[in-house]
Amino acid sequence: MVLTGIAGWLASFQLAVDDWRLLRDPAYQPPCNISPVVSCGSVMSSAQGSLFGFPNMLLGLGAFAAVTALGTAVLSGARLHRRLWLALDAGALLGVVFAHWLIGQSLYELNKICPYCAVVWIATIALFWYVTVHCLEQGVVPVRRGVLEVVRDTHGILLAAWYGVIALLVLTRFWPYWSSLL
């Protein structure tokens, strides 16, 4: 929780700083505008970048700060109430659903990939996965023993496969661009 919280918060913070700079100076070129495909400036200024009427990165700043604080509390020995674990898992589920919607929008509507957004996607997926695994292991979310053993034994492989599918989507979506660099 601490690692995903810090990584997600830092990426959200950088996006917020770059968004603020773009608001002040529309000619500003964020450092993440690397190529015609790898760019965050156009993603931030799109309708998808402010889905709820304010910049999405503000959600990340708040959510990842809370996750980091809860993770720090757990590392210090705090025992979170079952309802808090359920709320955290539900929030992470909402975050991962939103991240996957943003992945689809980025790849197939905006035709860009934002590197800081990708860090947020990676952190959100890992947070959801490991909070869910913890909730299953601790009985917060009841599950049959066989399912728990499979998840416990393969959680790293399943997470790597999840990331692999996203990497393949990015690779195939922008293959003409990537292959032109070779």
What digits encode the pLDDT tens for the residues 46-95? Answer: 999 999 999 999 999 999 999 999 999 999 999 999 999 999 999 999 99
pTM, 2 dp: 0.94
What CATH class does 2-181 carry?
Answer: mainly alpha
Distance CA 35, CA 114 (A): 10
* The pLDDT of residue 182: 83
The count of other CB atoms within 10 Å of the CB of residue 111 is 15
Range in 43-47, 74-78, 163-167 with the lowest mean pLDDT? 43-47
User: What b/e sequence results for 56-73 when a residue is b if at least 16 CB atoms lie within 10 Å of its CB, and e otherwise?
Assistant: bbebbbebbbebbebbee
